Amino acid sequence: MASYATSTMPTPTRPAPRLVRLADDPATLPDALTRVWDAGDAVVVADPSAGLPAPVQRVLDGALTLPEGAALVVLTSGSTGTPRAVVLAHTALAASTTASLTALGCAPGERWALALPLRHVAGLQVLARARALGTDVHIVADAGDPRAIAAAAEHAEHVALVPTQLVRCLDAGGDVVAALARFRSVLVGGGPLDPARAHEARDAGIALTLSYGMTETCGGCVYDGRPLAGVEVEVDALPGEQGRIRLRGPMRAAGYLDPSPEDAARFTADGWFVTNDRGRLTATPDGPLLEELGRADVVINTGGVKVDPVAVETLLRAHPAVADAVVVGVPDVEWGERVRAVIVPLDPTASPTLEALRAAVDVVLPPSHAPRELRLTDRIARDGLGKVSAAERERLRSV
């Protein structure tokens, strides 16, 4: 078994680490992290010009104390509301890094390409994996350019992407897809990937691994439906049925900074983290297989039927006339909620009709899932991981 240098995440030397703010600059952050950690302190990575949530600022000001062993404070994406400040310990990061490298078969001396923002745990984990392998990351200068991502295969064996980046690479076709197939692993997480595109990538020879996890689990802790070493998965329902996913393992976060009682309860006394995701757990000869079925807190209830907006969005974005799409529920006197599709048309002069979009959804999902109204917009705001914040979804309910 390969040996990884997880000692690059040292044990802190003081019981209450200070919090140091560092800029999200890939050229300077790795060395700056080492200096802070060697001093026994913790780091929050942020745009120097951006404001920080009140609990994080209170720690920086010395009014709130971090727990012993804290290494990072990472803000969640805010896709379900106000971003939460998650405290990750050195031990949790080391466990996550080792389990990930083992599952992907990484070897010491191999390099990772960095194509993700360092404000999020997924980008920080790329740094951690590279350091554990004894290498520096190869920085992708323009992470939104499929050709720049493809070119990184000349300099690195592994790359982590979000679904939007992979889809753009697949759409570029030809030499871009061929280059992506030269990576020893292409780790994709941060959101759902259309199964058809996953099949397309694998058929093209891309060594695709689909990751499920969140900031509260140091990033992905389930790969291709299989829990990583040390990870336990439960679903709060009868076997084979949908329910809320619960995760337990050494990579669980220490908790949130200054949480509400509701948020604090998501970290149970017996070690579980209760997610906001729905799932189905199936027993197989190789162990439990997790199928992630979308968020429990964004389900649209229309006429008593529960509609998963993510499933509808996936179909709408596959329509040849759609550049981007978000599905939201809006109040309806008769149905309680009705399904609204907000789309960015690929060509503003030739927008698809509501009937065409409904037909695209009806092919796969029940008629209740098809949008009942259509709104056009020139842009849907997404963060560096391609996620839509709760505030943006609320805005799209009013367009």
The Cα–Cα gap between 371 and 359 comes to: 10
Is the pLDDT score of 61 beyond 70? yes
Q: CA 285 from chain center: how many Å? A: 28
User: How far is residue 46's CA from residue 49's CA, in Å, rounded to a whole number?
Assistant: 8
- Two structure tokens written together for 147: 């050709």
CATH class of 300-397: alpha beta
Query: What are the structure tokens assigned to 218, written together?
Result: 């140091």
Whole-number pLDDT of residue 6:
47
Q: Could you tell me which residue, 95 or 84, shows the higher pLDDT?
A: 95
pLDDT of residue 296: 73
**Gap between the Cα atoms of 292 and 241, Å rounded:** 12
Query: Residue 270, Cβ neighbours under 10 Å: how many?
Result: 5
Kindly tell me if the per-residue pLDDT of 4 is higher than 70: no
Chain segment 270-287, per-residue pLDDT in tens: 999 999 888 889 989 988
Higher pLDDT, 166 or 309: 166
C-alpha 257/C-alpha 85 separation (Å) is 6
Distance CA 93, CA 127 (A): 11
Domain range list for the chain:
6-292, 300-397
The proportion of the chain whose per-residue pLDDT surpasses 70, expressed as a percent, equals: 93
Whether residue 20 has pLDDT greater than 70 = yes
Answer whether 69's CB lies under 8 Å from 95's CB.
no
- Angle 203-204-210 (CA atoms, 0-180°, nearest 5)? 70
Under the banding of pLDDT at 50, 70 and 90, the label for residue 298 is confident
Whose CA is closest to 93, among 117, 73, 110, 114? Answer: 73
Q: Can you give the pLDDT at residue 385?
A: 72
CA–CA distance, 292 with 198 (Å, rounded to integer): 15
DSSP strand pairing (219-223 vs 208-214): antiparallel
3-state secondary structure at position 249: coil
- Percent of the chain scored above 90 by pLDDT? 64
Q: Domain 6-292 belongs to what architecture?
A: 3-Layer(aba) Sandwich (3.40)
Instruction: Give 358-383 pLDDT, tens digit per residue.
Output: 999 988 888 889 999 999 999 998 87
For residue range 197-240, list pLDDT tens digits in order.
999 999 999 999 999 999 999 999 999 999 999 999 999 875 55
| pLDDT of res. 15 | 65
Check for a shared fold between 6-292 and 300-397. Answer: no
Q: What is the pLDDT of residue 2?
A: 56
**Average pLDDT in the 6-13 region?**
46
